[in-house]
Amino acid sequence: MKIYIDGNYYDPKDATVSVFDHGLLYGDGIFEGIRIYHGNIFKLREHLIRLYESATALMLDIGMSIDSLEAAVRDTVRINNRANGYIRLVVTRGEGTLGVDPSSCKKACIIIITGDIQLYPQENYTLGISLITSSYRRIPVDCFDVRVKSLNYLNNVLAKIEARQAGCQESIMLNNSGHVAECTGDNIFIVKNGKLLTPAPYEGALNGITRQTVLELAESLGISTAETILTRFDLYTADECFLTGTGAEIIPAVNIDKRSIGKGSPGPVTLKIADSFLSYVESVS
């Protein structure tokens, strides 16, 4: 494996950043997780556009054009001979002095890692996963807009720990109004009376790349969709539920807070969308 750092490639044991990097010290940075399918980098441009929007919101100068960064990502995949796998693209504020003031950071640090990812065992895709509602709330937009995909994931980590302690695979995070936002690393969808529903981004949901792809695929399948407000009641009484994400792809959820969803097994709409997603990935590869 070769890891890209600021234009150079390193073996993993030599791939290091400064202990004074503000990404390490203060979580001052952004990232994207991207999939590789059959040699094709899935929705790379969309991921990069989101990365640069995050950088703009944080006043973080990436230091290279979007076209140059795209070329660097493609080169890293080629050098690592990755036909399938996962890319973690990280941009930190860079090395600076102690103290949160970012003006001491003169140059951003860009890191590109390729590897494998398997968030859930394969049987979970067949049988589904169990969720809990986390006691940790999504950071409200008046504190920090979660559309910035930043390195600050501590509340997600705590919610994930909470899920594991409860014997579940994932946590649902609510916003301060008690509305469903998303899970710790995935977007959430439900099916009710044949309609596909998901929290709107203004409710604290990241506008995920896989999420958007699913919405488009559902429309092409004639399935009505809506980005809306959802509560726990909506989840508990849903006919089906599934999560989406770059790492997770599409995974059914069959139990929420010890309540079976629908028949307690992956439903027909979920399976149809999952099959459509797989076909779509194959077609663009």
What domains lie within the chain, and their CATH numbers?
Answer: 3-115 (3.30.470.10), 122-284 (3.20.10.10)
Active-site residue (options: 2, 13, 149, 258): 149
Mean pLDDT of 42-48: 97
Confidence class for position 38, pLDDT limits 50, 70, 90: very high
Query: What does the angle CA 19 – CA 90 – CA 184 come to, to the nearest 5 degrees?
Result: 105
SS3 for 86? Answer: strand
For the segment 111-126, what is each residue's pLDDT rounded down to a tens digit? Answer: 999 999 888 889 999 9
Checking if the pLDDT of 106 tops 80, the result is yes
pLDDT at 283: 84
Q: Which range, of 128-132, 203-207, 266-270, averages the lowest pLDDT?
A: 203-207
Average pLDDT over residues 196-210: 94
User: What pLDDT, on a 0 to 100 scale, did the predictor assign at position 74?
Assistant: 98
Residue-level pLDDT at 225: 98
Contacts of residue 274, defined as CB under 8 A and 6 or more positions apart, other chains included, come to 125, 242, 249, 250, 252
Band (72; pLDDT cuts 50, 70, 90): very high
Q: How far apart are CA 105 and CA 29, in angstroms?
A: 12
Q: Is residue 91's pLDDT more than 80?
A: yes
Q: Where does the pLDDT of residue 130 fall: very low under 50, low under 70, confident under 90, or very high at 90 and above?
A: very high
Rounded percentage of the chain residues whose pLDDT exceeds 70: 100
The whole-number pLDDT of residue 285 equals 60
Between 56 and 118, residue with greater pLDDT: 56
pTM of the predicted model, to two decimals? 0.94
> 147 pLDDT exceeds 90?
no
- The reply to whether 149 belongs to the active site is yes
Once rounded to an integer, what is the mean pLDDT over residues 170-175?
Answer: 98
**Dmax of the chain from CA atoms?**
57
Cβ neighbours of 11 (radius 10 Å): 9
pLDDT of residue 141: 85
The mean of the pLDDT values for the chain is: 96
- The b-or-e profile of 246-283 (16+ CB within 10 A means b, else e) is bebbbbbbbbbeeeebbeeebbebbeebbebbeebbee
